[in-house]
A and B are shown apart, each in its own frame.
Chain A
Amino acid sequence: MKRNQWLSVLMASALLVSISEASVYAAEGTNGSKPAAVKSSAKAAKIKEGSAAWTINGVQQTFKTIDAGGYKLYSVSQLAAALGAGLKAEAGGLALTDSASVHTIKLKAGSKSYSIDGVKRSFTTAPTVYGGKLYVELSAIVYGLGGELFGSPLQILGSARPQGEFDTIHWAADGSLLANREGEATEIYKFASNPGSYRLFSNDSRAADFSVSGDHRLGAFTDETGQLLVIDLASGAVKPLGTDTSVKTDLTWSADGKIIYFVQGDKQEKISQISVDTGVVTELLADKVENKSELRISADGKKAVYIVNITGTAKNDADSTEDSLTVDYSKAGEQLFQLDLSTKGAKPAALTTSGDNKLYPEILVDGTVVYLSADPDGNAPNTLKTLKPDGTFADIPLDIEVVWAQEGAGGLIASGTAADGTSRIYTITSAGASKELFRTTQDISEVAVSGDGAKLGVISGGKLLEIENGKAVQLTK
């Protein structure tokens, strides 16, 4: 925790009431029973009882407190119960152990010296017995047991949020968020909405990224052999799908979850599908046009849109002499194509011919194709363009330079940077009306839309945020 956060917490619990002496010795049971032995020389008249309300693991709770030595001390038994920690008397003192049995705090009433996991520490104010109960410094106990606390508003997490840089976020059907922690080994964590509530979901490096089914119950990915695999986003179980080992990229689920479409081939020259039930691969397009990507399938499964990255043309003589070499990049770049999947043997149709960069194509319910258009010469801001079924192009007016877009359950979502430097996320209706969902002065590197479209998962500065109704909760630190 940053120093200013500590100060914030301490300021929140500090009082100007002082206690002259606190030579108290006590041991208290976990159930709040009377201590086995109590020796007290405290001047009880100078101790002031009180209470403090905190939200602990998302639940509002009021703690008994006393003001001692200028600080507010908290009932250790009440605190242990709220944190789910074990509390037992031993060797003339107390031992608190967190619910996962990872951290242990050993302390004695009246002694500023205590230990966390065997490492000696010092309280500012010694644990104090008052009214037969032991009171302790809040922050030392919370952090010592591996939790976190925040000063404004007053919140305690029984378990600390995981620390590190996170990326590659996906929503699961149960409303949890999956995210990878960057590092040498693959660590995919699963986060509940309540900060501090998370678990390691998978270490499978093959599943570091995957395409999520429409119901958010399954993810699909390939391994280095080209084998397609499916991961259960509830259990983490992985099973192979089919036996085909050709190169597969741009995996895309059908709306009903029964088919996975993909770009196939070592030169990404085909579009194929695999049945999730049978594992049978069916070729949909093999037009020998290489470098297909960004495959999207319409909700009714009748239309595919994809990008072809057209390469430059290099020419030379039979001896590969340097003088003879020429390269023409004038036609190089991305172009959008559309394929009618409802008509067998249909030929793909080019949708664009312009020289702008094209990213994030999406197919809206009415058949409109949306994509991000970026000017490689840097003369124009990135915009979202629509291509109606009648062939007309238009820009979606937004006050941001768009960097990402995706069609979700709640409609089209776009993210970008406004002129004032803020990062903003908008939802856009089919009529083109936009509504701001979130704004932050931080940069946004990833966005994922929940299955019902009500929540966003966002990576900002490597930290994972969950956003609902414009409010962000930071799930990692």
Chain B
Amino acid sequence: MKLFKKITFSALAAVFAVTASFAGAASAAGSLSGKITVNGSTALLPLTLQAAKEFQKMNPKVRIAASGKGSVTGPQAVKKGIADIGACDWDASIDVPGFKAFSGQVANKVAVIPFATIVNKNVGVDNLTTEQLRGIYSGKITNWKEVGGADADIVVITRAFGSGTRVNYQAKALAGGDIVKKEKNYKETGSSGDMKTAVATTPNAIGYIDLVYVSGDVKAVKYNGVAATTGNVINGSYKIWAYGYYMTKGQPTGAVKAFIDYVQSKKFQQGSLKKLKFIPISAMK
């Protein structure tokens, strides 16, 4: 069991057997206190909460309160001063399609997030190309038989405007293509969990989601013949991925900096982050 206290240590001199009354320099326990608020990406929320739990063991007096409402709300909350950290699936300090840069904010890389195209388990298609996906999300392709599947209408599920998953999916999977709102066979969801539920429970549905959320109740399809796996992201063959960021108002300081440092540490990146099925930032060359 780990305490993770801050360390100030003087060598035990020449004596390696010390008794209970050994005298020397005093040291302080984890001295940070206060509240850190994090808002934004729902994809990054499990990572944030796991890191918060571990960071609190180092600093029991620090409260880390987190919430998720889509990536754009991360830098928005930082700008409004209602969160210290904005979790965002893109670098919000620069312009991206659909969103202006949040000036004065600093993007701190915390993870690599792979995304996958998912379909309802009744869909027979196992692979989709960039052009086929652009056709489906622009509304030009409306039936699964047009991409090698059964004769059934395609139900398009997408994340709402402001989602980091949506921003990255458009940029990477659709190569900048549009997601066109339709009158029928179209649904927008507000979170990764809602997306997964919608695709899993809607026959002939297609959607997209963080790879970590893919499980047996939906089917991930290949992209241009390459399976959505962390291995294929790391080896460069699978292109639908993005860095996750913690946005801060200027360079982080104090407890916020200490928390971000912990999330970026080798211990967390190679430990809990991987076990939550994210990819360490150091894995990408």
Residues of A within 8 A of B (CB): 2, 4-5, 8-9, 150-153, 155, 161, 167-168, 195, 205, 208-209, 222-226, 246-249, 266-268, 291, 293-294, 309, 311-316, 318-320, 322, 325-327, 329, 332-333, 357, 359-360, 372, 374-378, 382, 401, 403-404, 406, 415-417, 420-423, 436, 438-448, 460-463, 470-474, 477
Contacts and interface: CB of A to CB of B under 8 A. Distances in A.
Interface in B21-73: 21-30, 33-35, 37, 39, 45-46, 49-50, 52-53, 56-57, 60-63, 65-70, 72-73
B14 A4 contact: yes
Contact of A359 (B16, B18, B60, B160): B60
A168 B270 CA distance: 14
Contacts of A463: 9, 12
The 8 closest A-B CB pairs, nearest first, are A461-B9, A421-B26, A320-B162, A376-B63, A312-B67, A314-B69, A332-B65, A378-B33
Contacts of A417: 28-29
Given A150-B16, A294-B53, A376-B35, A249 B275 contact: yes
B56 A311 contact: no
Contacts of A224: 230, 274-275, 277
- Interface-centre pick from A2, A205, A443 (highest chain B CB count, 10 A): A443
A440 B29 CA distance: 13
Given A208-B270, A314-B67, A441-B24, A247 B276 contact: yes
Nearest to A332: B65
B122 to A, nearest CB: 22
A185 to B, nearest CB: 11
Contact of A472 (B17, B193, B215): B17
Given A226-B277, A443-B28, A325 B73 contact: yes
B16 to A, nearest CB: 4
B14 A8 contact: yes
B80 interface: yes
A445 B13 contact: no
B62 A309 contact: no
A150 B3 CA distance: 30
A376 to B, nearest CB: 3
Given A4-B13, A460-B9, A403 B29 contact: yes
B33 A446 contact: no
Contacts of B215: 246, 266
Contacts, number: 249
Contact of B67 (A209, A311, A322): A311
A222 B274 CA distance: 10
Contact of A151 (B14, B60, B68, B76): B14
A205 B270 contact: yes
A403 B60 contact: yes
Given A322-B76, A327-B39, A474 B18 contact: yes
- Interface-centre pick from B1, B22, B62 (highest chain A CB count, 10 A): B1
Interface in B200-214: 212-213
B15 A311 contact: no
Contact of B65 (A312, A359, A420): A312
Contacts of A152: 14-15
Interface of B: 1-30, 33-35, 37, 39, 45-46, 49-50, 52-53, 56-57, 60-63, 65-70, 72-73, 76-77, 79-80, 82-83, 160-162, 193, 212-213, 215, 230, 267, 270-272, 274-277
B34 A376 contact: yes
Contacts of A374: 56, 60-61
A415 B3 contact: yes
B43 to A, nearest CB: 10
Contact of A471 (B19, B28, B30, B60): B19
26 contacts: A152-B14, A266-B277, A311-B68, A312-B66, A314-B69, A316-B73, A319-B161, A319-B162, A320-B72, A325-B77, A325-B82, A326-B82, A357-B60, A376-B63, A403-B30, A404-B1, A421-B28, A443-B6, A443-B27, A447-B1, A460-B9, A462-B7, A463-B9, A473-B16, A474-B12, A477-B16
A439 B21 contact: yes
A151 B56 CA distance: 41
Given A224-B230, A359-B60, A375-B61, A441 B77 contact: no
Contacts of A440: 18, 20, 22
B29 A359 contact: no
B271 A209 contact: yes
A463 B7 CA distance: 11
A205 to B, nearest CB: 7
Contacts of A205: 270
Contact of B213 (A150, A266, A447): A266
A315 B80 CA distance: 14
Given A266-B46, A266-B215, A442-B10, A378 B271 contact: no
Contacts of B270: 205, 208
Contacts of A168: 2
B160 A403 contact: no
B12 to A, nearest CB: 5
Contacts of A208: 270-271
A474 B16 contact: yes
A428 B41 CA distance: 43
Contacts of A416: 29
A223 B63 CA distance: 29
A463 B1 CA distance: 16
- Interface-centre pick from B21, B61, B193 (highest chain A CB count, 10 A): B61
A451 B262 CA distance: 31
Contacts of A474: 12, 16-18
